[in-house]
Chain A
């Protein structure tokens, strides 16, 4: 059972990684990204941490992403960070704004625990507004239950 869960988590990570790199190719073309750039952070670290339905508990895949984020942010200290929480569309607008804040806060607490100064990381929430991807199926919902680390 535990093994299956781990495999699923890996599968999810691979899926997500391929998605985000696909998105990147549109803008960053094929040139190698500059280490320490926003593109580097998105492609090689991963700016998105995912959650289960109506949950703000970090999953193992999320912790691994946040570990990489913390490492990168310690190396490149010039970026202030905003973590934006998002939700799927299967909740009400106001509750989802609060749930998104809770997700953003869970990611922030984790980064702070890894040694990122609390003053460097602020949070916001977009709730279920502006879903990305915009679909109305479980696959789209899963990708909208997230905290995105945005570099300013």
Chain B
């Protein structure tokens, strides 16, 4: 299943792309600037095997969908006889407006060996090149890893294409909806169901290794819902914690050793932390209010959560062991579902204000609040592992749930295709290689 480490680096020559070049289409992009044009890029079908065209398609799709690239359609290519090991004819690619050209070749038979080069058309040099070997069944992952390498070379940020998304698959009428946990690749491929749908399951979250998920599910008896820990591959699942009331809103600590969650009893909802291995549990908050949606900071030292202790739903931060609670949201409206960025620089949240819902970000001290998306119901942001892109879900008046993704500048939103209606996305970390 796992890929061997990156075997060979073909030549990945580091060079200061574009620093001395005129401002036309460049092969670098600064995503933090207020405006930029997507980088025009040409991805040629990989040579050597039929799967080469499929690999190129996955890369095109990844780069086009992230909003930072414009994939030039292959029908526009002039040079058709391109050799994966020789420089392309740069004037041919400049004339169709490409800033970069990606070429690659595939060797199959036993293991699948794929290597690729990204050529900087503007300066006429190789920008990066890598080689990978894996089992043939992993060809989509290899394509995502290559797309990540291109993304990183051009943006300076880590990519997020070699990832998965867990979500709640929704089918049936609204009043008797089947809601079950599904996992798919970030681009929608390899969709599979993790729960059988006999009882409702919600709020899936990945462990840092992606080997386990935690989620909330109801039993067969109309009793209170509880939090389960499930191995993704074996399907083996177990109850996490033994609480008399409801347990819900689980989330792993960044090192995967703990799960924070809400426990409700007698009208009070407090936060607890479970040790995943030892199964000891400890209380983190204690009061008559609703404390829910806990999320650890990227370094595991703090927890941000949602509480109505001050009268309405607001965001609070406390130490990871509990204590030192302080409110960080002070704008108009109600704040919910805070999620700490994997980079630590932002907290994403859902905001309810005047009959509409929005997705926004604020600094961990509550400053710099910015709204990115809004609608009748937009809820539940989750971060891509590079902390630059969010996924969330939308629902229309009268129903119809779907996933959407937006970058943290709010410039580029796209809907994420899913096999069924979908809610509650949870973006995984990069898949371990």
| B56 lies within 8 A of chain A by Cβ | no
B249, A94: Cβ atoms closer than 8 Å: yes
With A94-B262, A101-B264, A130-B174 as contacts: A124 and B246 at CB distance below 8 Å: yes
Instruction: Name the one of B223, B225, B267 contacting A56, with C-beta atoms under 8 angstroms.
Output: B267
| B183 lies within 8 A of chain A by Cβ | no
Q: Which of A10-18, A27-35, A63-71, A82-90 contacts B (4 or more CB under 8 A)?
A: A82-90
Tell me which residues from 90 to 124 in chain A have a Cβ below 8 Å from any Cβ of chain B: 90-95, 97-99, 101-102, 105-106, 109, 122-124
| A132 lies within 8 A of chain B by Cβ | yes
A94, B397: Cβ atoms closer than 8 Å: no
With A82-B222, A123-B224 as contacts: A134 and B175 at CB distance below 8 Å: yes
With A94-B306, A97-B246, A136-B397 as contacts: A122 and B175 at CB distance below 8 Å: no
Q: How far is the CA of A130 from the CA of B424 in the complex (A)?
A: 15
Task: Indicate the size class of the contact surface on chain A.
Answer: 20 to 34
Number of A-B contacts (CB under 8 A): 111
| B186 lies within 8 A of chain A by Cβ | no
Interchain nearest-CB distance for B265 vs A (Å): 8
A82, B269: Cβ atoms closer than 8 Å: no
SS of B interface (majority): strand
A92, B267: Cβ atoms closer than 8 Å: no
- Within 8 Å CB of B423, what residues of A? 93
Instruction: Name the one of A94, A122, A132 contacting B293, with C-beta atoms under 8 angstroms.
Output: A94
- Within 8 Å CB of B246, what residues of A? 97, 101, 124-125
Instruction: Name the one of A90, A95, A131, A135 contacting B290, with C-beta atoms under 8 angstroms.
Output: A95
Closest to B200 in A: A129
Q: How far is the CA of A125 from the CA of B179 in the complex (A)?
A: 16
Instruction: Name the one of B176, B224, B424 contacting A93, with C-beta atoms under 8 angstroms.
Output: B424
- Within 8 Å CB of A101, what residues of B? 224, 245-246, 264, 267, 269
- Within 8 Å CB of B222, what residues of A? 82, 84, 124, 150, 152
- Within 8 Å CB of B264, what residues of A? 97-98, 101-102, 125
Q: Mark B403-427, 1 if CB is under 8 A from A, else 0.
A: 0000000000000000000011000
A90, B352: Cβ atoms closer than 8 Å: yes
Q: Mark B320-332, 1 if CB is under 8 A from A, else 0.
A: 0000000000000
Q: How far is the CA of A129 from the CA of B174 in the complex (A)?
A: 8
| A133 lies within 8 A of chain B by Cβ | yes
| B129 lies within 8 A of chain A by Cβ | no
- Within 8 Å CB of B424, what residues of A? 93
B290, A102: Cβ atoms closer than 8 Å: yes
Q: How far is the CA of A125 from the CA of B203 in the complex (A)?
A: 15
Q: How far is the CA of A90 from the CA of B353 in the complex (A)?
A: 10
Closest to B172 in A: A130
Instruction: Name the one of A98, A106, A131, A134 contacting B269, with C-beta atoms under 8 angstroms.
Output: A98
| B109 lies within 8 A of chain A by Cβ | no
| B350 lies within 8 A of chain A by Cβ | yes
Interchain nearest-CB distance for B103 vs A (Å): 46
A135, B379: Cβ atoms closer than 8 Å: no
Q: Mark B203-231, 1 if CB is under 8 A from A, else 0.
A: 10000000000001010001111000000
Tell me which residues from 249 to 308 in chain B have a Cβ below 8 Å from any Cβ of chain A: 249, 262, 264, 266-267, 269, 290, 292-293, 306, 308
Instruction: Name the one of A95, A124, A130 contacting B225, with C-beta atoms under 8 angstroms.
Output: A124
Q: How far is the CA of A122 from the CA of B336 in the complex (A)?
A: 28
A-B contact pairs, 7 of them (CB 8 A): A91-B336, A92-B352, A93-B202, A101-B269, A109-B267, A123-B224, A152-B222
